[in-house]
């Protein structure tokens, strides 16, 4: 004999199915904290075989989709991203749905493999330059008395490079480069 499923139980199963299928909260993955010394290595390209990495065209659609799944929106048009030299590439992104735009991260790709990000949700950052081997990032520095609109602590620059299968920063990237004294 079959038992009837109660309406609340059936509704809960239906809601869970719809949220998961439609890309709701169960589908979003937020970046975890990355170490200040370097980003994690990838399971993809090896640092020992750089001549094989970067020869294939950069899969911009896949990179932008990866950034989207992390809860961010790439700031740069796909046509511009296709012209980035590799194998090391950086894409600036904003937290999807951010009201004030003060939630950004830079996402790194080595060849077509996702290699990590700079910091989780910095207030502001800029990719100053990238040449396929080095990415220069700039962060405005806010002093404790600065309003959110205006920084007075100058700017700090960091270079990111691929070494031993991971992205490393020089100088070391603090946990929050916009507020390094916190």
Per-residue pLDDT of the chain (182 residues; tens, 9 = 90+): 444 444 444 444 334 333 333 333 333 334 443 333 334 334 444 443 444 555 678 999 999 999 999 999 999 888 899 999 999 999 999 999 888 778 999 999 999 999 999 998 789 999 999 999 999 999 999 999 998 889 999 999 999 999 999 999 999 999 999 998 77
Say if 159 falls within a structural domain. yes
Domain housing 127? 37-170
Residue 139, token pair as written in the block? 């962060």
Say if 47 falls within a structural domain. yes
Say if 13 falls within a structural domain. no
Say if 64 falls within a structural domain. yes
Say if 165 falls within a structural domain. yes
Give yes or no for a contact between 139 and 160, defined as CB atoms under 8 angstroms apart: no
Q: In terms of DSSP H, where are the helices of the chain?
A: 7-21, 60-69, 78-81
Say if 10 falls within a structural domain. no
Say if 19 falls within a structural domain. no
Say if 27 falls within a structural domain. no
Cis omega (within 30 of 0) for bond into 87:
yes
Task: Compute CA distances 17 → 3, 9, 24, 27, 89, whole Å.
Answer: 22, 12, 10, 12, 36
Number of compact structural domains in the chain? 1
């Amino acid at each position: 004999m079959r038992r009837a499923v109660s309406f609340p139980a059936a509704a809960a199963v239906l809601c869970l199915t719809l949220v998961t299928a439609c890309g709701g909260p169960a589908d979003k993955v937020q970046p975890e904290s990355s170490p200040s010394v370097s980003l994690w290595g990838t399971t993809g390209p090896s640092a020992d075989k750089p001549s094989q990495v970067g020869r294939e065209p950069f899969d911009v659609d896949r990179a932008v989709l990866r950034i989207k799944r992390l809860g961010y929106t790439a700031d740069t048009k796909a046509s511009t991203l296709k012209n980035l030299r590799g194998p090391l590439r950086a894409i600036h992104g904003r937290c999807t749905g951010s009201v004030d735009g003060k939630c950004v991260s830079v996402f790194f790709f080595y060849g077509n493999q996702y290699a990590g990000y700079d910091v989780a949700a910095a207030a502001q950052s800029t990719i100053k330059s990238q040449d396929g081997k080095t990415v220069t990032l700039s962060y405005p520095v806010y002093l404790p008395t600065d309003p959110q609109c205006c920084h007075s602590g100058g700017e700090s620059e960091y270079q990111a490079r691929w070494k031993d299968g991971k992205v490393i920063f020089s100088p070391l990237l603090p946990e929050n480069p916009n507020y390094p004294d916190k």
